[in-house]
Structure 1
Amino acid sequence: MVHTRRLSAIVVAALLVTGCASAAPAAESPAPEASHTMPDGSVMTGEEHGSHGTGHASAQGPSEAAEMVCAGQVTDAITAMLDLEGEVSPSSTWNEPMFTCSYDVDGAPLTLSVHDATDLAVGEAHFDELQATTESARDIEGLLALGMPSFTNDAGIVSFLRDGKTLLVDATRLPDELAGGTMTRSEAAYAVASAVLVCWVEHD
């Protein structure tokens, strides 16, 4: 019960700091160029790939929802919740259909990824496989699930499925205690995921 109350308080904090009332500033940060890894290990850009591609996602890059994890209010929320100092400049990669964003938290990576499926069935299958292959994964239950398929583990993994898109927050390489000892890495992962979901919901 104490753990549940603590996580509920973290969700409230995430809602307050995120404040996603306006659109994320996607225009300020160009979408990462689509890329394709070839059998020999070389990387071909979307432009080089040309007519050999099959999906529109390659030409368009990641969705706006995916890009939100690496910019604007989500970055501000992560900075505030984890008490990060200085300018926070996350790095991102796009390898269709996966958009990945990495934040440096005191020298350790906090990784957010979005499996940017455009087909609900494909997205749901990916989420199910991810949960099945994540060590010691368990469903997030009750109100903490926010009405969505979701799972977590004690190592610092939190994942949610919304509209076919799988959000994964990986805090496994962060210190055991964060934000001045007020938050564990599992709680931090949940708070970050909640902040992203707030933005997704408010930008529907």
Structure 2
Amino acid sequence: MNRTTWLAGIAVASLLLTGCASSAAVVPENAEPEASHTMPDGAVMPGSEHEGHHAGNAEGPSEAAQMICAGQVVAAVREILALADDPSPTSGWDAPMFNCTYEVDGMPLVLSVHDATDLPTGEEHFAELRDGFGSTREIEGLASLGLPAFSTGDGVVAFLRDGKTLLVDATALPDELGVKGTQSRHDAAYAVASAVLVCWVEHD
């Protein structure tokens, strides 16, 4: 886990230096139009999210969930995977799940947030998700960032924060990623998840 923590540290340090700008609202193709609110910095927040970025409901994902598909998270994915340009992810919303897919050389890196609005619901989902994978290992110590977290070891990493489950699935990617193919699917998934969590913490 030391190597994984080091790789995540690079992504986190980059975000701390550049800032994790508020993401413009991501509107899934199957979502109904809704009222929006333009923030002072120009970012657009759906009307349903104006009361707080942790709020999410059937009308649309929370701002926290949408961060996985916009802003500095996109830049972090590019840096972690050593891509030539910022990727152009696609998103989908099927309450309470918000999904974001990054195409990496034609293969999907999938980020998702179970956008629960209360802690008990979120904890129940996290436990069911972990049990559903069968063989998992807890992420512990500094690598857990103080949160409940687990990995499958082959490219799936999940964290629970404030009732919201963040899942990063890199299992479809090759197992030689990043600069000179020096990082594994697990390393990449963990680093991407860490970058998302930095954004969530910064926007509390």
TM over 0.5: yes
**1:24 matched to which residue of 2?**
22
Cα distance, 1:120 vs structure 2: 0.9
| Partner of residue 202, structure 2 | 202
Tell me which residue corresponds to 2:128.
Answer: 129
Q: What is the alpha-carbon distance in structure 2 between the residues aligned to residue 188 and residue 123 of structure 1?
A: 25
Secondary structure of 2:181's partner?
coil
Output the aligned Cα RMSD.
2.0
Q: Does 1:72 align with 2:71?
A: yes
Distance 2:201 2:132 in 1: 28
Query: Does the CA contact (< 8 Å) of 2:176 and 2:183 recur in 1?
Result: yes
Secondary structure of the 1:100 match is: strand
Instruction: State the partner residue of 2:41.
Output: none
Secondary structure of the 1:155 match is coil
For structure 2, the residue ranges without an aligned partner over 5 or more in a row are 35-55
Q: Is the 8 A contact 1:33 1:46 kept in 2?
A: no
Match of 2:7 in 1: 10
Q: Equivalent residue for 1:42?
A: none
Question: Would the aligned equivalents of 1:34 and 1:58 in 2 still touch at CA under 8 Å?
Answer: no
Q: Is the 8 A contact 1:34 1:96 kept in 2?
A: no
4+ long deviations beyond 6 Å: none
Amino acid at match of 1:15: V
Task: Give 1:64 deviation, angstroms.
Answer: 0.5
TM-aligned CA deviation for residue 22 of structure 1:
4.6
- What is the CA-CA distance between 1:23 and the residue it aligns to? 3.2
Q: State which structure, 1 or 2, has the greater radius of gyration over its C-alpha atoms.
A: 1
Output the CA distance in 2 between the equivalents of 1:8 and 1:111: 21
Matches of 2:30 and 2:163 in 1, distance apart?
A: 20
> Do the aligned partners of residues 146 and 87 (structure 1) sit closer, same or farther apart at CA in structure 2, a change above 3 Å counting?
closer
- Describe the shift of the 1:30–1:154 C-alpha distance in structure 2 as closer, same or farther (beyond 3 A): closer
SS at match of 1:176: coil
State, as a whole percentage, how many aligned pairs show the same letter.
56
How far 1:87 moved relative to its partner? 4.1
CA gap of 1:22–1:87, structure 2 versus 1, over 3 A, is closer
